[in-house]
Homo-oligomer: A and B are copies of this chain.
């Protein structure tokens, strides 16, 4: 086992739940009797797995690229054929079977640059500063690898929010960075507080070298959206402390909260003017999985680097060589995400209708789920502004706590394990770390569940129904 592997030996609570879900799923296919027909996994943001249908246009373009014969018939709409032809022109040998440049197809990078520029009100975006990777995690890994990883007190510290996206710790672990947690203030809508940032960086002194701050905005799993002012504060903090800003903006497409608006860190940085705009190093990450297409299985995402030395960018290219290239199919989908059908195009109406319907489903499901959780004793769920996760707060009673302690399990994990075993619903779980929480209740009694709500309404009904049945039984027992 390598050092890396050794550190990875102990699966996290999340990973234990996931493994158990996989095992139960296998048992179900083997015909072993369970109190439910199938496992529903709502712990990740994988919306296709819970029944969301793909957006037609992206699939048509992909089918055309894969089977060029389809481009000579009238099976596919004209604009998807045109797009497929255009993309194939930019594949070596006119085939998606050829390798692309390590950092992504030049054509797709230029589409992405135009998308970013339009999003940021015309701010320029250079395709040479964009790197395509097979998903946002790979993109984040590449950025972290660009930072010097020293030894001992020189190890690279990366500030990360509490709560964090559940896949983040493994990424840090893999590259050998030290996580430096800063707590988001739940009672203030998961605000990032300057004081807390200062506390966190002070606490790192002597045991690592803080070099980057990771931000998730719009927030995963918290669903908050930072204001322009809050972003400015973080940029100032990064500048003062010479930190690289690693901004995960994969939820930029899914802001629905009244009065909330996504503004990119890059835009705010540019608007702040010198010295910030020319010095603060920034990487912004976006992905196919979390964008409105929700195409997790196709594996593609991108990073844009701002104010990063040209020489360092060359290394990003070298690091990406390890992947040889992001799957071309993913890159094609990225092109469609960044440049969807426009008014007047044959596919525009259907595209718009599908996207609008998806957004409406998300809004309605979020509302319905919040109402649901707020109606359950022990749960509390403030409004969510963005993303596909609802993140309700669960307070467990002392009886439940004592019982879990007797079993040697953490109470929140135990709740979720039982939910999985009894009702086949797999949710994510985190212990609450906020000060307000731990002051009022004994440790171990406050938890958050993480649940993706973007799914067909019937599927959501089924999930909530199972959750309710379980929770009532649980309350009765403990």
Contact = CB atoms under 8 A, between A and B. Distances in A.
Interface residues of A, number: 77
B59 A297 contact: no
B49 A319 contact: no
A328 B47 CA distance: 15
B4 A46 contact: no
A416 interface: no
A244 B319 CA distance: 27
A193 interface: no
Interface stretch (A60-68, A115-123, A195-203, A218-226): A60-68
A97 B297 contact: yes
Nearest to A51: B93
A93 B50 contact: yes
A98 B145 contact: no
A135 B51 CA distance: 29
B135 A297 contact: no
A259 B205 CA distance: 68
Contacts of A59: 66-67
Contact of A148 (B2, B22, B95): B2
Given A93-B48, A96-B297, A98-B297, A323 B146 contact: no
A75 interface: yes
A62 B54 contact: no
Interface string A220-256: 0000000000000000000000000000000000000
Contacts of A134: 134, 299, 323, 327
Interface in A127-180: 134-135, 137-138, 141, 145-149, 167, 170-171, 174-175
A46 B99 contact: yes
Contacts of A171: 322
A295 interface: yes
Contacts of A135: 323-324
A149 B97 contact: no
Given A1-B315, A46-B99, 15 more contacts: A1-B148, A2-B147, A2-B148, A4-B149, A8-B318, A48-B97, A48-B98, A56-B67, A63-B67, A63-B70, A70-B75, A134-B134, A134-B327, A135-B324, A141-B322
